[in-house]
Amino acid sequence: MKILKRTQFGDPILREVAAHVPVSKISSTQIQQLIANMKYTLLKKELGIGLAAPQIGQSLALAVVAIRKSQTRPQAEAFDLVLINPVITEAVGKRAQLWEGCISAGSYGKADLFAKVPRFKKIRIKYYDEHGRQHHKYYEGLPAHALQHEVDHLHGILFVDRVKDTRSYMTHKEYVKHIKNVI
């Protein structure tokens, strides 16, 4: 497995609508290797909690999510999911603002920019997993928030497009100080 190079804000691929992956191709060596390398990149580099294919230069409707406890998420429960051709079919309740960053908005693959982004607390999403099985499931809390972020990437939408309170922008250094004071 290998660490994949990440694209940065300004790269046109991040503003494209990603191509759907034909279901018949999900089991292909190419797609399976891409998924394995994306998971490896996300977990090995401890980049964040999600990685969409456009963020590594591939215009494909594919994303991986791997939530782990961290300095800024001490209560997080482990969560792993591979999403292929995801579609959010239902958004439940009001939106909640949580802090977001993006590894495409930073140097060395780490997020340098953070802001509060309103996302639905609970969503229902239809997707294929890495085995080509279709799912239609509800997710809530941090997983729902992360899934919405990654699905946005597949539609050429960046988290900065969703920020309502522009006064919430801060650098990684300030974000870490802020979160330490909240926890």
Model confidence pLDDT, tens digit, residues 137-170? 999 999 999 999 999 999 999 999 999 999 999 9
Cβ contacts of residue 181 below 8 Å, gap of 6+? none
pLDDT at res. 48? 82
Looking only at the bridges linking them, the beta strands covering 113-128 and 79-101 are antiparallel
Note if 130 is an active site residue: no
Domain 12-182 is of which CATH architecture?
Answer: Alpha-Beta Complex (3.90)
Among residues 46, 90, 100, 150, the one annotated as catalytic is 150
Tell me which H or E stretch contains 16.
none
Question: DSSP string spanning 20-76?
Answer: PPPGGGTTSHHHHHHHHHHHHHHHHTT--SEEEGGGGT--BSEEEEEE---SS-TTP
The alpha carbon torsion through 123, 128, 129, 135 (nearest 10 deg) reads: 50
The Cα 109–Cα 49 span in angstroms is 12
Other CB atoms within 10 Å distance of the CB of residue 77: 11
pLDDT at res. 64? 98
Residues 17-75: tens digit of each pLDDT: 999 999 999 999 999 999 999 999 998 876 689 999 999 999 999 999 999 888 778 88
Residue type, 106: G
pLDDT category at 2 given cuts 50, 70, 90 is very high
Residues 106-133: tens digit of each pLDDT: 765 567 899 999 999 999 999 999 999 9
Cβ contacts of residue 83 below 8 Å, gap of 6+? 62, 63, 64, 65, 125, 127, 128, 129, 147, 150, 151
Residues composing the chain: 183
pTM of the predicted structure, to 2 decimals: 0.94
The Cα 111–Cα 179 span in angstroms is 15
Mean per-residue pLDDT for 100-110? 79
Domain locations along the chain: 12-182
Q: Which of 67-81, 85-99, 128-142 has the lowest mean pLDDT?
A: 67-81
